[in-house]
Amino acid sequence: MTETSIRRGPAYRIHTERLVLRCWTPADAPLVQTAIAESLEHLRAWLPWALYEPETLENKIARLRRYRGDFDLDRDYVYGIFNRDETQVLGSTGLHTRLGRGVREIGYWIHKAHVKQGLATEVSAALTQVAMVLDQVQRVEIHCDPQNVASASVPRKLGFTHEATLRHRAVSPAGKLRDTMVWTLLAAEYPNSPAAKRSIEAYDACGQRLI
Protein backbone atom coordinates (compact mmCIF):
# COMPACT_ATOMS: atom_id res chain seq x y z
CA MET A 1 0.00 0.00 0.00
CA THR A 2 1.41 3.38 -1.00
CA GLU A 3 1.65 6.41 1.26
CA THR A 4 -0.93 8.17 -0.92
CA SER A 5 -3.48 5.40 -0.45
CA ILE A 6 -2.87 5.36 3.32
CA ARG A 7 -3.54 9.08 3.51
CA ARG A 8 -6.79 8.97 1.55
CA GLY A 9 -9.93 10.14 3.27
CA PRO A 10 -12.61 10.79 3.92
CA ALA A 11 -11.75 12.76 7.01
CA TYR A 12 -14.37 11.91 9.61
CA ARG A 13 -12.93 14.28 12.22
CA ILE A 14 -11.03 17.56 11.78
CA HIS A 15 -9.47 19.64 14.54
CA THR A 16 -8.77 23.33 14.01
CA GLU A 17 -7.46 25.93 16.43
CA ARG A 18 -10.86 26.43 18.08
CA LEU A 19 -13.18 23.83 16.62
CA VAL A 20 -13.99 20.19 16.01
CA LEU A 21 -15.59 19.32 12.68
CA ARG A 22 -16.91 15.80 12.48
CA CYS A 23 -19.39 13.60 10.71
CA TRP A 24 -22.85 13.90 12.27
CA THR A 25 -24.33 11.03 14.26
CA PRO A 26 -28.02 10.61 15.18
CA ALA A 27 -27.11 11.26 18.84
CA ASP A 28 -26.27 14.86 17.87
CA ALA A 29 -29.90 15.62 17.04
CA PRO A 30 -30.80 17.43 20.30
CA LEU A 31 -27.73 19.66 20.06
CA VAL A 32 -28.28 20.63 16.43
CA GLN A 33 -31.99 21.15 17.04
CA THR A 34 -31.14 23.61 19.82
CA ALA A 35 -28.55 25.43 17.70
CA ILE A 36 -30.98 25.89 14.81
CA ALA A 37 -33.79 27.03 17.10
CA GLU A 38 -31.53 29.65 18.67
CA SER A 39 -30.39 30.89 15.25
CA LEU A 40 -33.59 30.53 13.26
CA GLU A 41 -34.28 34.15 12.31
CA HIS A 42 -30.61 34.63 11.45
CA LEU A 43 -30.68 31.55 9.18
CA ARG A 44 -34.00 32.33 7.50
CA ALA A 45 -32.52 35.45 5.94
CA TRP A 46 -30.24 33.36 3.69
CA LEU A 47 -31.08 29.64 3.75
CA PRO A 48 -34.32 28.31 2.20
CA TRP A 49 -34.24 25.11 4.29
CA ALA A 50 -34.57 27.21 7.45
CA LEU A 51 -38.14 28.07 6.43
CA TYR A 52 -39.07 24.46 7.22
CA GLU A 53 -37.68 24.65 10.73
CA PRO A 54 -38.29 23.87 13.48
CA GLU A 55 -38.68 20.18 12.73
CA THR A 56 -39.38 17.44 15.24
CA LEU A 57 -36.60 15.62 17.01
CA GLU A 58 -37.59 12.43 15.18
CA ASN A 59 -37.21 14.17 11.81
CA LYS A 60 -33.88 15.63 12.87
CA ILE A 61 -32.62 12.17 13.83
CA ALA A 62 -33.72 10.83 10.44
CA ARG A 63 -31.94 13.71 8.69
CA LEU A 64 -28.68 13.07 10.55
CA ARG A 65 -28.92 9.37 9.71
CA ARG A 66 -29.14 10.31 6.03
CA TYR A 67 -26.13 12.60 6.37
CA ARG A 68 -24.18 9.80 8.03
CA GLY A 69 -25.24 7.30 5.37
CA ASP A 70 -24.15 9.61 2.56
CA PHE A 71 -20.84 10.18 4.35
CA ASP A 72 -20.13 6.48 4.80
CA LEU A 73 -21.01 5.77 1.17
CA ASP A 74 -18.85 8.64 -0.15
CA ARG A 75 -21.84 10.40 -1.67
CA ASP A 76 -21.59 13.68 0.26
CA TYR A 77 -19.77 14.96 3.33
CA VAL A 78 -21.73 17.02 5.86
CA TYR A 79 -20.01 17.95 9.14
CA GLY A 80 -21.16 19.32 12.44
CA ILE A 81 -19.20 22.28 13.80
CA PHE A 82 -18.57 21.84 17.54
CA ASN A 83 -16.64 23.59 20.28
CA ARG A 84 -13.51 21.73 21.30
CA ASP A 85 -15.18 19.66 24.04
CA GLU A 86 -18.11 18.88 21.70
CA THR A 87 -20.76 20.07 24.14
CA GLN A 88 -22.24 22.66 21.78
CA VAL A 89 -23.10 22.80 18.08
CA LEU A 90 -21.74 26.02 16.59
CA GLY A 91 -23.03 25.35 13.08
CA SER A 92 -22.74 22.97 10.18
CA THR A 93 -20.62 22.72 7.05
CA GLY A 94 -20.04 20.42 4.13
CA LEU A 95 -17.72 19.28 1.39
CA HIS A 96 -20.38 18.75 -1.22
CA THR A 97 -19.94 16.59 -4.33
CA ARG A 98 -22.84 18.02 -6.36
CA LEU A 99 -20.56 19.85 -8.83
CA GLY A 100 -19.13 16.60 -10.15
CA ARG A 101 -15.92 14.62 -10.14
CA GLY A 102 -12.78 16.45 -9.06
CA VAL A 103 -14.65 19.37 -7.49
CA ARG A 104 -15.86 20.13 -3.98
CA GLU A 105 -18.26 22.88 -2.93
CA ILE A 106 -18.00 24.22 0.62
CA GLY A 107 -21.14 25.39 2.39
CA TYR A 108 -21.57 26.57 5.98
CA TRP A 109 -23.77 28.20 8.56
CA ILE A 110 -22.78 29.50 11.99
CA HIS A 111 -24.81 29.83 15.20
CA LYS A 112 -25.94 33.45 15.59
CA ALA A 113 -24.05 33.81 18.90
CA HIS A 114 -20.75 32.96 17.18
CA VAL A 115 -20.84 35.00 13.98
CA LYS A 116 -18.19 37.66 13.29
CA GLN A 117 -15.55 35.59 15.07
CA GLY A 118 -13.88 34.13 11.98
CA LEU A 119 -15.31 30.65 12.47
CA ALA A 120 -16.61 30.28 8.92
CA THR A 121 -13.16 31.21 7.61
CA GLU A 122 -11.50 28.71 9.98
CA VAL A 123 -13.91 25.99 8.89
CA SER A 124 -13.55 26.72 5.18
CA ALA A 125 -9.75 26.75 5.37
CA ALA A 126 -9.81 23.31 7.01
CA LEU A 127 -12.18 21.84 4.44
CA THR A 128 -10.16 23.34 1.61
CA GLN A 129 -7.08 21.53 2.96
CA VAL A 130 -8.97 18.27 3.21
CA ALA A 131 -10.34 18.64 -0.32
CA MET A 132 -6.96 19.44 -1.82
CA VAL A 133 -4.67 17.16 0.21
CA LEU A 134 -6.86 14.10 0.81
CA ASP A 135 -9.48 14.21 -1.94
CA GLN A 136 -6.96 15.64 -4.42
CA VAL A 137 -9.57 17.66 -6.25
CA GLN A 138 -8.79 20.12 -9.02
CA ARG A 139 -11.07 22.87 -7.74
CA VAL A 140 -12.90 24.02 -4.61
CA GLU A 141 -15.83 26.40 -4.88
CA ILE A 142 -17.83 28.53 -2.46
CA HIS A 143 -21.19 29.96 -3.60
CA CYS A 144 -23.03 32.74 -1.80
CA ASP A 145 -25.66 35.46 -2.15
CA PRO A 146 -24.02 38.76 -3.18
CA GLN A 147 -26.02 40.47 -0.42
CA ASN A 148 -24.45 38.22 2.21
CA VAL A 149 -21.33 40.34 2.75
CA ALA A 150 -20.06 38.27 5.68
CA SER A 151 -20.26 35.03 3.71
CA ALA A 152 -18.58 36.56 0.66
CA SER A 153 -15.65 37.69 2.81
CA VAL A 154 -14.74 34.07 3.65
CA PRO A 155 -13.44 32.92 0.24
CA ARG A 156 -11.80 36.30 -0.30
CA LYS A 157 -9.75 35.88 2.88
CA LEU A 158 -8.66 32.39 1.82
CA GLY A 159 -7.35 33.35 -1.59
CA PHE A 160 -10.30 32.26 -3.71
CA THR A 161 -11.04 34.14 -6.93
CA HIS A 162 -14.45 35.68 -7.63
CA GLU A 163 -14.98 33.89 -10.91
CA ALA A 164 -18.54 34.97 -11.72
CA THR A 165 -21.82 36.27 -10.44
CA LEU A 166 -24.56 34.14 -11.97
CA ARG A 167 -27.74 36.10 -12.45
CA HIS A 168 -31.06 34.68 -11.24
CA ARG A 169 -29.66 31.18 -10.82
CA ALA A 170 -31.00 30.57 -7.32
CA VAL A 171 -34.09 31.28 -5.26
CA SER A 172 -34.11 33.34 -2.07
CA PRO A 173 -35.92 32.17 1.08
CA ALA A 174 -38.68 34.62 0.07
CA GLY A 175 -39.13 32.69 -3.18
CA LYS A 176 -37.61 35.35 -5.45
CA LEU A 177 -34.90 34.75 -8.02
CA ARG A 178 -31.50 35.90 -6.80
CA ASP A 179 -27.93 36.08 -8.05
CA THR A 180 -25.16 33.74 -6.88
CA MET A 181 -21.48 34.58 -6.50
CA VAL A 182 -19.05 31.80 -7.46
CA TRP A 183 -15.64 31.78 -5.78
CA THR A 184 -12.99 29.30 -6.94
CA LEU A 185 -9.62 28.03 -5.75
CA LEU A 186 -7.66 25.82 -8.17
CA ALA A 187 -5.31 23.04 -7.13
CA ALA A 188 -2.33 24.92 -8.61
CA GLU A 189 -3.21 27.99 -6.50
CA TYR A 190 -3.73 26.12 -3.26
CA PRO A 191 -0.09 25.79 -2.00
CA ASN A 192 0.36 29.58 -1.88
CA SER A 193 -3.10 30.35 -0.54
CA PRO A 194 -3.93 31.40 3.04
CA ALA A 195 -6.00 28.22 3.31
CA ALA A 196 -2.86 26.08 3.04
CA LYS A 197 -1.19 27.86 5.93
CA ARG A 198 -3.78 27.00 8.59
CA SER A 199 -2.81 24.30 11.07
CA ILE A 200 -5.29 21.41 11.23
CA GLU A 201 -5.49 17.74 12.13
CA ALA A 202 -7.67 15.31 10.20
CA TYR A 203 -8.55 11.72 11.13
CA ASP A 204 -10.19 8.82 9.33
CA ALA A 205 -13.09 6.66 10.56
CA CYS A 206 -10.73 4.58 12.71
CA GLY A 207 -9.07 7.59 14.32
CA GLN A 208 -5.87 7.32 12.26
CA ARG A 209 -4.37 10.71 11.51
CA LEU A 210 -4.47 11.74 7.84
CA ILE A 211 -3.13 15.30 8.10
Q: How do residues 127-186 score in pLDDT, each as one tens digit?
A: 999 999 999 999 999 999 999 999 999 999 999 999 999 999 888 988 899 999 999 999
Distance of CA 170 to the CA centre of its chain: 19
CATH topology for 13-200 is Aminopeptidase (3.40.630)
**Could you tell me which residues come within 8 angstroms of residue 177 by beta carbon, excluding any fewer than 6 positions away?**
168, 170, 171
Give the global pTM: 0.94
Q: Where are the domains of the chain?
A: 13-200
Q: How confident is the model at residue 9, as a pLDDT?
A: 82
Collect all residues with Cβ–Cβ distance below 8 Å to 181 and sequence separation of at least 6.
143, 144, 145, 146, 152, 162, 164, 165, 166
pLDDT-based confidence at residue 1 (cuts at 50, 70, 90): very low
Asked whether the beta carbons of 30 and 140 are under 8 A apart, the reply is no
Strands 103-110 and 139-144: parallel
22-38 tens-digit pLDDT: 999 999 999 999 999 99
Q: How far apart are CA 170 and CA 180, in angstroms?
A: 7
